[in-house]
């Protein structure tokens, strides 16, 4: 009985990936029917202890293709303990369309400093404008703001772009594949008409839609403020979209160590519990695959091996097909190695999440 149940889980997960691959192949929405009109936008950049990463990020923002009279840059230093504030102040002084927002009040217990910084910047955005968000550890392409803004519609409320991990080491490459896999699932579900999440490092939000749901201040108690805002927009009747195109492909930095990766994942898992129970069940089934693998292989070695092989192939097809939508090529040998990485990280994340201890992020603790 145990072996049969385990084998069923293996085949269900394999079927999930086949469905995902079919949907990304046949039902991919490109959202390329852009209007010629360019709206006024404000780029929001919250920063905390980002002195090392800021120069590359700011250089990429300087390369954006957008008329100076229609774009503003709002910057916020979230009480950094390094030279972040000085770098932001120097950069803001170079042009009139750049402004450094002062944050006098520190976050209270359980409050998300980034959410509060974004909320403070949003108060400076005029009615009718769009807010385009990224993070200090990111580099944006020249067409990023233009394509995000043109894709936006009032019925959407928000547009999420596509982000990948930069870096050439094996650990960075595995993290990149992980992001392609996760964001591919987000894209499929988004094109199906349901919002799972958003990404604060690559996001466009309408000011009116933002205010209608209370904005980032309303979700200041959530450690995943981007997901919480997207869910609030969805509940309000908006249908945020996921724009996947090389013109909006933002590059972010990998976590430098396994311990840092676990801290990131613990924060993300907290956000995953905001999702409806049926989505949590489907996500749990993915993790359960590796728990079911051992008894399935023990009781039904041939069928278990076939299901495992089928899952790896379907998963690899899905990742490769999705990445190709941004003209990104994935090496086949990395896809095989990714299965081992995915097994290790999936269960380590579960164990680390339930291990007693607060969430730690940007040198702050969240209960």
Q: Is the pLDDT of residue 307 over 80?
A: yes
Beta-bridge mates of residue 162: 249
**Strand order of the sheet with strand 98-101?**
98-101, 71-77, 41-47, 130-134, 202-206, 158-160, 241-242
Average pLDDT of span 322-334:
94
**pLDDT attached to residue 364:** 77
pLDDT bracket for residue 270 (50, 70, 90): confident
pLDDT bracket for residue 132 (50, 70, 90): very high
What does the alpha-carbon distance between residue 28 and residue 14 come to, in Å, rounded to a whole number? Answer: 20
Q: Is the pLDDT of residue 21 over 90?
A: yes
Give the domains, in start order, of the chain with CATH numbers.
2-27+262-366 (no CATH), 41-257 (3.90.550.10)
pLDDT bracket for residue 278 (50, 70, 90): low
What does the alpha-carbon distance between residue 231 and residue 245 come to, in Å, rounded to a whole number? Answer: 23
Contact 84, 57 (CB under 8 A): no
Q: Is the pLDDT of residue 325 over 90?
A: yes
Contact 160, 179 (CB under 8 A): no
**pLDDT attached to residue 120:** 96
Lowest mean pLDDT among 31-45, 146-160, 345-359: 345-359
Average pLDDT of span 275-291:
79
* Percent of the chain residues topping a pLDDT of 70: 100
**pLDDT attached to residue 157:** 96
DSSP code, position 96: T
**pLDDT attached to residue 195:** 80
pLDDT bracket for residue 353 (50, 70, 90): confident
Beta-strand pair 359-361/138-139: unpaired
3-state secondary structure 125-186: CCCCCEEEEECCCEECCCCHHHHHHHHCCCCCCEEECEEEECCCCHHHHHHHHHHHHHHHHH
Average pLDDT of span 61-74:
96
């Amino acid at each position: 009985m145990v072996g049969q149940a385990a084998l069923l889980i293996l085949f269900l997960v394999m079927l999930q990936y086949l469905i995902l691959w079919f949907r990304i192949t046949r039902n991919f929405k490109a959202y390329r029917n852009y209007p010629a009109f360019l709206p006024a936008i404000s780029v929001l950049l919250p920063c905390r202890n980002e002195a090392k990463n800021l120069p590359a990020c700011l250089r990429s923002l300087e390369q954006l293709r957008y008329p100076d009279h229609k774009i503003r840059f709002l910057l916020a230093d979230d009480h950094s303990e390094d030279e972040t504030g000085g770098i932001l102040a120097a950069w803001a002084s170079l042009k009139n369309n750049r402004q450094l927002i002062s944050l006098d009040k520190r976050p209270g217990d359980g409050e998300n400093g980034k959410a509060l910084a974004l909320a403070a910047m949003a108060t400076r955005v005029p009615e009718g404008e769009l807010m385009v968000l990224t993070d200090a550890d990111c580099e944006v392409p020249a067409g990023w703001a233009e394509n995000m803004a043109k894709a936006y519609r009032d019925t959407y409320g928000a547009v999420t772009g596509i982000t990948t991990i930069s870096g050439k080491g094996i650990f960075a490459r595995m993290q990149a594949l992980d992001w392609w896999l996760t964001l591919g699932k987000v894209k499929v579900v988004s094109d199906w008409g349901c919002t799972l999440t958003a990404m604060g490092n690559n996001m466009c939000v309408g000011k009116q839609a933002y205010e209608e749901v209370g904005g980032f201040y309303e979700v200041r108690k959530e450690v995943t403020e981007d997901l919480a805002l997207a869910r609030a927009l969805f509940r309000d009747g908006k249908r945020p979209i996921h724009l996947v195109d090389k013109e909006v492909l933002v590059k972010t930095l990998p976590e430098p160590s396994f311990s840092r990766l676990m801290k990131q994942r613990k924060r993300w898992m907290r956000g995953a519990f905001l999702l409806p129970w049926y989505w949590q069940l489907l996500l749990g089934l993915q993790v359960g695959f590796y728990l079911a693998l051992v008894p399935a292989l023990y009781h039904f070695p041939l069928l278990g091996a076939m299901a495992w092989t089928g899952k790896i192939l379907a998963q690899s097809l899905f990742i490769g097909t999705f990445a190709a939508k941004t003209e990104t090529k994935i090496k086949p040998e990395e896809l095989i190695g990714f299965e081992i990485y995915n097994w290790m990280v999936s269960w380590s994340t579960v164990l680390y999440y339930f291990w007693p201890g607060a969430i730690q992020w940007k040198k702050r603790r969240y209960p």
